[in-house]
Amino acid sequence: MEGYGGSPQDLTLAHRDSSARIEAAPAISRAARESSQATPLAIGATRAVGAGDRQRPEEPDEFRSCFERDRDRILHSNAFRRLAGKTQVFVFPEDHMRTRLTHALEVAQVAVGIARPLGLNVALVEAIALGHDCGHGPGGHASEEALDPFVENGFDHATWGADVSLASLNLCVETLDGIRNHSWSRPAPATPEGEVVSWADRIAYVCHDFEDAVSAGVVEVSDLPRIVATRCGTRRGQQLGTFINAMIHTVASSGVIGMDAEHAEALATFRAFDYERIYLRGASRDQAERVVVMLRALVEHYAAHPELIDEQPGEPLERAVAYVAGMTDRFACRSALTLLDWPEDRLPTGIDR
């Protein structure tokens, strides 16, 4: 199917009965859109005009702002696509459960839902949200514990994502700052958009990890703390809507990127519940230990046999860590089986109720 001809201008159409038309006019350039953007964006929001500082200078795009360009680069990157095969909470998730990729998409939706009505730069928010977890290794947060001994000052997925996984994309400093500092344990991002993504990340994972745990039979809806059920509801849609609206009202009334005390307490209680009943339960710790031992063995093997990795700059250990950190769950397990003769009964096994 090569499309359909026959239009008055002898153009090819995607559909035989295509009738969609707009008034023909010059395409709106990036410069024109950036000029008109000055009014809708809130005071204090990050403008694309004057931004776009990259490690390697580039000519501006004709139609896309610097942050739209960043978003597109992240979306099309190998690091982002690999998130589809990386653990969010449950190794080898069952149908409809989150992976790192679907988590990133949900964070972007939550962040945009907060940013748009507040007049923040939506393209920058999307870029940071889509890229925020690209530094994660296979097997969830256990990969950080696994790779810690091999990296000076420890392995942090946030800084690794900005400084290693996405380094080749030559992203803007504002985008990299938001990715590097999205974790609450890190310094605050330099932009309000980056801070919104920090909140959106926590809101998204607290709600959807609980939903996945209910689906897996690990917890029940009735287990939800009363403060959460009363203030935010028991369904993910209710919970997300409550937290998003709380952020919007708080920021709109105060100018501070934060959340009112009542809903912040509910979010903190929800997160503490997830940690106790989902992330730190015995079965989860057992899975994490399997991930840690396997990934460390892989790093040591690749460091001893650098010829197994495509030629990249850097010392053998640095290259080995980068290679293993970029693996999907299945590729890591398959590599352990084929290269290390790893016993199958020592592999991560997925959901264990």
The CATH number that applies at residue 138 is 1.10.3210.10
Q: Report whether 180 contacts 159 (CB < 8 A).
A: yes
Report CA torsion sign: 144, 148, 153, 155: negative
Q: Within 13 Å of residue 306, how many CA atoms lie on the same side as its CB?
A: 12
Report yes or no on 9 lying in a domain. Answer: no
Question: What string of pLDDT tens digits covers the 353 residues of the chain?
Answer: 666 675 566 665 656 776 767 565 565 677 777 776 555 788 899 999 888 899 999 999 999 999 999 999 999 999 999 999 999 998 887 778 999 999 999 999 999 999 998 989 999 999 999 999 999 999 999 999 999 999 999 999 999 999 999 999 999 999 999 999 999 999 999 999 999 999 999 999 999 999 999 999 999 999 999 999 999 999 999 999 999 999 999 999 899 999 999 999 999 999 999 999 999 999 999 999 999 999 999 999 999 999 999 777 789 999 999 999 999 999 999 999 999 999 999 998 865 54
**Token pair for residue 204?**
């998204």
- Rounded CA-CA distance 137/106 in Å is 19
Identify which of 95, 125, 118 has the alpha carbon closest to the alpha carbon of residue 43: 118
**CB 157, CB 347: distance < 8 Å:** no
Q: How deeply is 207 buried, as exposed, middle or buried, from its count of CB atoms within 10 A (0-12, 13-18, 19+)? A: buried
**Considering the domain boundaries, does residue 33 fall inside one?**
no
47 phi and psi angles, rounded to 5 deg = -85, 145
> Is 277 a domain residue?
yes
Residue 348, amino acid: P
114 in any annotated domain: yes
> Contact 233/226 with Cβ under 8 angstroms?
no
Query: For the chain, how big is the Rg over CA atoms in Å?
Result: 23
Cα→Cα distances 98→75, 118, 213, 323, Å: 18, 28, 10, 24
Domain count, the chain: 1
Q: Is there a domain that residue 177 lies in?
A: yes
**Kind and range of the H or E run holding 117:** helix 100-118
Helix H or strand E segment including 146 = helix 142-147
Asked if the structure places residue 230 within a domain, the reply is yes
Helices (H) and strands (E) in the chain, counts: 15, 0
Residue 53 counted as domain residue? no
| Residue 207 domain boundaries | 66-282
* Paired strand residues for 4: 13
Nearest of 95, 225, 79 to residue 165 by alpha carbon: 79
Question: Which of 175, 184, 129, 128 has its CA nearest to residue 156?
Answer: 184
Sign of CA dihedral 213, 218, 221, 225: negative
User: Would residue 264 count as lying in a domain?
Assistant: yes
The DSSP-derived string for 56-107 is: S--PPPSSS-HHHHHHHHHHTSHHHHGGGGSBSSSSS--TT--BHHHHHHHH
DSSP 152: T
Beta bridge partners, 99, equal 87
